[in-house]
Amino acid sequence: MTTSNLAPTPTQTSTSSQHIANNAPGMYLYDQYDQTIVDERVAQFRDQTQRFLAGTLGEDEYLALRLMNGVYVQRHAPMLRVAIPYGLMSANQVRALGHIARTYDKDYGHFTTRQNIQFNWPKIEDLPDILEHLASVQMHAIQSSGNCIRNTTSDPLAGVAADELEDPRPYCEIIRQWSSLHPEFAYLPRKFKIAVTGASHDRAATMVHDIGLRLIKNDAGEIGFEVKVGGGLGRTPILAKTIRPFLEKQHLLSYLEAVLRVYNLKGRRDNKYKARIKILVNAMGVEEFRALVEEEWGKIKDDLYLDDAEINRVKAFFRPLDYETLETPSQLAQQLEQNVDFKRWATYNTSAHKVSGYRSVFISLKPTGIAPGDISGTQLDLVAGLADDYSFGLIRSTHDQNLILADVKESDLFSLWQALHRANLATANIGTIADMICCPGLDFCNLANASSIDVAQDIQQRFENLDYLYDIGELHLKMSGCMNGCGHHDIGHIGILGVDKRGKEWYQITLGGYAETESQLGKRLGRAIAKADITDAIENIITVYLEQRHDSERFVDTVERVGIEPFKERVYATN
């Protein structure tokens, strides 16, 4: 395989983009050590796979090893989940994903709610080659599944959001390196997810993670972390509890290690549904859990002290890009006025940037008729090219299964929109009910009770009329095909959960969940609804909202104010 031309070398400061003339790459670049680790992991996995195919490594033993390298065996074929550390990719990495989609899959990939990408159709024997290709562009699938520390997720607008105290990504990268192939925490009771945010609006949903870290400022004006533990969705949705109100940055890794060690020793192993850290924290009580963590931490904090030099080394990769000093171009106002489609897109699919003259552009992966989060190999290539041309050669993936070009000049918006529009990547629906998030469901997943993709499509079609869609406004609809909750339905303004009833697909609705500055789990509307009636039920809920809302009140705020009763009455009157 000749892929070396795709690999950015550590000495280069940029990908092919000419915009990155200065030495701020905007993302972490591997040095020889990072590269050696992923290369050796590929060789190790190749050997493990060969032993499995030769019959000398048992099915069950291989299962644990392949899971720790992102490989599930799904309904139809193995599924490979590639880690996208905190959702940040270079254009060359996105081109490599396009190459993998074309060469080893059915020419598409699927972005997940944890900022990763999944390929649904690779062959087991091709996996080592795919991983080798990923390694050539500084990517991997290490710990993207299995009972270990998973890919650390973050705010998809990190570094560009105006409400940010400090960029969380250097800390995500430090956590990535600490957790990668960590020898002590590879066989935890259950999977373990860490999220980090640096903004006041919690776009990383830290409250529903095993550990949620939020950069905050203490009374002395120092920036450190608020540490929360034991949040999570799935069959026992729980919001995380604060275990340490302020942690100095230099203690980040020692504190994480202490939490993980206590969990590894004390977490339940007799029942996988009770094995997450949230169950341990709830059973033990947060005070008792904290006492154990602090005792352990006291013993290791000096040895695992994180040096400022290392923090600064990693931070240097994320220093501000080479932004130009710009004023809002006069032709933008004219373009917005003259083209209603462009105006809709600019309104819904772009957001404010902390540098004047720039905006962040959301690429919607939710056009009607496509499974949410799916993207073709050709589209991946196109997005990579647009990132090179318009956004410093960088692309981000979001928790809502969309992509972001985070640093686009306002003067480039119109031509960027035209290019996206031609590729069916400019559906102006970000933040609306049509921008729903959705797990792969019964169509692909072994765990699912019910399909989610076709239900999502039915709902999208019902709300296809744009005036209607925009009148409804901001509404986060999240759907999971089973109570494992991969679609995060519990924090959806509207949540839909697929359940199995005597072999038939039924759906449970929750209302009023959210994960913003604070978080709340949705309340159950009532008994499950048959597949044929689910879209009508959603429309009834929307109708009640439109009748009840005050002025420009959002859906979730109306639900908060009036409660779920009026919705319940309407839905079950007709169902």
Of 196 and 556, nearer to other proteins (C-beta) is 196
Choose, by CB under 8 A, the member of 73, 186, 447, 499 that binds other proteins. Answer: 186
**Residue 124 is a binding residue for other proteins (CB under 8 A):** no
Angle at 512 between CA 507 and CA 518, to 5 degrees: 130
Please name which of 240, 241, 154 lies closest in space to residue 198, comparing C-alpha atoms: 154
Alpha helix (H) residue ranges in 214-307 = 252-266, 277-284, 286-300
**Residue 185 is a binding residue for other proteins (CB under 8 A):** yes
Contact region with other proteins (CB under 8 A), list: 118-126, 127-135, 216-224, 299-307: 299-307
Binding marks (x or -) toward other proteins, 131..150, rule CB under 8 A? ----------------x---
**Residue 162 is a binding residue for other proteins (CB under 8 A):** no
Choose, by CB under 8 A, the member of 22, 76, 187, 291 that binds other proteins. Answer: 187
**Residue 59 is a binding residue for other proteins (CB under 8 A):** no
Contact region with other proteins (CB under 8 A), list: 172-180, 285-293, 549-557, 559-567: 172-180
Choose, by CB under 8 A, the member of 16, 103, 177, 351 that binds other proteins. Answer: 177
CA distance 161 to 155: 9
As measured in angstroms, the least distance from the Cβ of 266 to other proteins is 9
Q: How many CB atoms are closer than 10 A to CB 462?
A: 17
Choose, by CB under 8 A, the member of 219, 302, 303, 551 that binds other proteins. Answer: 303
As measured in angstroms, the least distance from the Cβ of 52 to other proteins is 11
Angle at 25 between CA 24 and CA 29, to 5 degrees: 130
**Residue 300 is a binding residue for other proteins (CB under 8 A):** yes
**Residue 280 is a binding residue for other proteins (CB under 8 A):** no
Choose, by CB under 8 A, the member of 165, 304, 423, 466 that binds other proteins. Answer: 304
Structure tokens that stand for 339 in this block: 């083209």
As measured in angstroms, the least distance from the Cβ of 178 to other proteins is 6
Contact region with other proteins (CB under 8 A), list: 160-168, 178-186, 232-240, 470-478: 178-186
Of 47 and 337, nearer to other proteins (C-beta) is 47
Contact region with other proteins (CB under 8 A), list: 85-93, 108-116, 173-181, 427-435: 173-181
Q: In what order do the strands lie in the sheet with 78-82?
A: 71-73, 78-82, 117-119, 108-111, 374-376
Structure tokens that stand for 60 in this block: 């069950």
* Count of positions on this chain that bind other proteins (CB under 8 A): 40
CA distance 460 to 344: 17
**Residue 33 is a binding residue for other proteins (CB under 8 A):** yes
Q: What residue type is 13 in one-letter code?
A: T
Of 303 and 327, nearer to other proteins (C-beta) is 303
**Residue 57 is a binding residue for other proteins (CB under 8 A):** yes
Binding marks (x or -) toward other proteins, 255..274, rule CB under 8 A? ------x--xx---x-----
**Residue 48 is a binding residue for other proteins (CB under 8 A):** yes
**Residue 95 is a binding residue for other proteins (CB under 8 A):** no
The three-state DSSP-derived secondary structure of 326-377 is CCCCHHHHHHHHHCHHHHHHHHHHEEECCCCCEEEEEECCCCCCCCCCEEEH
Contact region with other proteins (CB under 8 A), list: 122-130, 300-308, 341-349, 396-404: 300-308
Structure tokens that stand for 119 in this block: 């390929």
Strand, helix or coil at 470?
Answer: helix
CA distance 234 to 226: 24
| Helices 340-349 + 330-338 axis angle, to 10 | 110
Q: Check if the beta carbon of residue 448 is closer than 8 Å to that of residue 439.
A: yes
Of 79 and 148, nearer to other proteins (C-beta) is 148
Q: Which DSSP helix (H) or strand (E) runs through 421? A: helix 413-422
Choose, by CB under 8 A, the member of 21, 22, 40, 569 that binds other proteins. Answer: 40
CA distance 78 to 514: 33
**Residue 520 is a binding residue for other proteins (CB under 8 A):** no
227 DSSP β-pair partners: 213, 244
Choose, by CB under 8 A, the member of 4, 11, 59, 183 that binds other proteins. Answer: 183
Q: What residue type is 236 in one-letter code?
A: T
Exposure string over 118-128, b if 16+ CB within 10 A, otherwise e: bbbbbebebbb
**Residue 310 is a binding residue for other proteins (CB under 8 A):** yes
Structure tokens that stand for 329 in this block: 């171009």
As measured in angstroms, the least distance from the Cβ of 439 to other proteins is 25
Alpha-carbon dihedral 55, 61, 64, 67, rounded to 10 degrees = 0
| Dihedral pair phi/psi, residue 168, rounded to 5° | -80, -15
As measured in angstroms, the least distance from the Cβ of 29 to other proteins is 12
Q: What residue type is 401 in one-letter code?
A: Q
Of 31 and 569, nearer to other proteins (C-beta) is 31
Task: Give residues in contact with other proteins (CB under 8 A).
Answer: 31, 33, 36-37, 40-41, 43-44, 47-48, 56-57, 61, 64-65, 147, 177-178, 180-189, 261, 264-265, 269, 299-300, 303-304, 307, 309-310, 313
